[in-house]
């Protein structure tokens, strides 16, 4: 019998951002890797996703959407972020907030495919090189392809369509069964389509351009 682990798709959940909860006041953000956000009684758990707003400094985090890691009483980390070069938090930021994303299960989903993009290869061949030499350049976060049974007025499909029209980022969360943990992806909707045929059902698809790494977190 194989001792390797595997997780069935049935029994897992795929959820999509469809709204926001109540904002929490942010009182500090450390310039560290990862940044640690202070917010009293935030109530976030591992795998929560939050949107920061009204952050005068560091400006790199303002209006950004982030996965929550290592939540503690009064603080939480921004998963996968390196804030070591950021400006210090502006304690005078009026109304700095962290607002939790709310998710809805995507029950019409039939399949998905996440594909990383290739990193740039920057040629650095010099006079003394004996062959072409390269340094790895910027990475491409890739895409997420969703295929589903079309139900255009269903909550998730409405959110996908509205995000495409507005150019807003959406968060997507896979929760694996048992101890499989979760994966969180954030990106913008690039394309949607739908189609139908005789003796079938209407189907749709969406392509999401991911804006950062796929966050893989342990089970909460």
Q: What is the pLDDT of residues 70-119, one digit of tens each?
A: 999 999 999 988 889 898 898 776 789 999 999 999 999 999 999 988 77
Q: What is the helix (H) or strand (E) element at residue 207, kind and residue range? A: strand 203-210
Handedness of CA 39, 55, 170, 9 (dihedral sign): negative
Q: What's domain 18-102's superfamily in CATH? A: Ubiquitin-activating enzyme E1, FCCH domain (2.40.30.180)
Tally Cβ neighbours within 10 Å of residue 182.
Answer: 20
Q: For all residues of the chain together, what is the average pLDDT? A: 91
Upstream peptide bond of 61 is cis (omega within 30 degrees of 0): no
- Residue 8: per-residue pLDDT: 87
Nearest Cα residue to 19 out of 156, 151, 214: 156
- Residue 140: per-residue pLDDT: 79
- Residue 48: per-residue pLDDT: 94
* β-strand partners of 206: 146, 192
Q: Specify the pairing of strand 36-38 against strand 215-217.
A: unpaired
What values do phi and psi take at 77, rounded to 5? -100, 155
Dist CA 163 CA 159 (whole Å): 6
- Domain boundaries, given as residue ranges, for the chain: 18-102, 105-217
Dist CA 178 CA 154 (whole Å): 28
Dist CA 98 CA 38 (whole Å): 10
- Residue 93: per-residue pLDDT: 65
Mean pLDDT of 167-177: 94
What confidence category does residue 2 fall into, taking pLDDT thresholds of 50, 70 and 90? low
| pLDDT over 90 (residue 137) | no
- Residue 205: per-residue pLDDT: 97
Handedness of CA 30, 35, 39, 40 (dihedral sign): negative
Model-level pTM greater than 0.85? yes
Mean pLDDT of 121-134: 90
| pLDDT over 90 (residue 173) | yes
Cα 23 to Cα 41, 52, 99, 126, 196: the distances in Å are 11, 9, 4, 53, 41
Mean pLDDT of 46-53: 94
| pLDDT over 70 (residue 220) | no
pLDDT tens for 6-42 read: 888 888 999 999 999 999 999 999 998 999 999 999 9
18-102 against 105-217: fold identical: yes
Task: Select from 3.30.200, 3.40.50, 2.40.30, 1.10.860 the CATH code of 105-217.
Answer: 2.40.30
What values do phi and psi take at 32, rounded to 5? -145, 175
- Residue 91: per-residue pLDDT: 77
């Amino acid at each position: 019998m194989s001792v390797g682990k595997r997780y069935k798709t049935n029994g897992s959940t795929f959820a999509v951002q469809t709204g926001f909860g109540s904002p929490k006041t942010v009182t500090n953000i450390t310039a560290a890797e990862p940044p640690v956000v202070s917010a009293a009684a935030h109530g976030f758990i591992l795998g929560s996703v939050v949107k920061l707003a009204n952050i005068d400094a560091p400006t790199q985090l303002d209006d950004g959407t982030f996965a929550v890691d290592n939540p503690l009483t009064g603080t939480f980390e921004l998963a996968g972020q390196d804030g070591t070069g950021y400006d210090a938090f502006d304690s005078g930021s009026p109304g700095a907030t962290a607002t939790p994303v709310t998710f809805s299960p995507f029950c019409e989903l039939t399949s998905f495919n996440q594909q990383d993009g290739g990193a740039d290869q920057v040629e650095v061949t010099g006079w003394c090189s004996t062959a072409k030499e390269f340094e790895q350049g910027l990475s491409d976060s890739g895409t997420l392809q969703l295929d589903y049974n079309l139900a255009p007025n269903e909550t998730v499909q409405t959110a996908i369509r509205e995000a495409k029209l507005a150019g807003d980022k959406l968060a997507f969360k896979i929760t694996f069964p048992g101890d499989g943990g979760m994966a969180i992806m954030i990106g913008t909707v690039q394309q949607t389509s739908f189609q139908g045929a005789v003796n079938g059902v209407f189907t749709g698809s969406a392509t999401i351009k991911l804006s950062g790494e796929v966050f893989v977190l342990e089970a909460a």
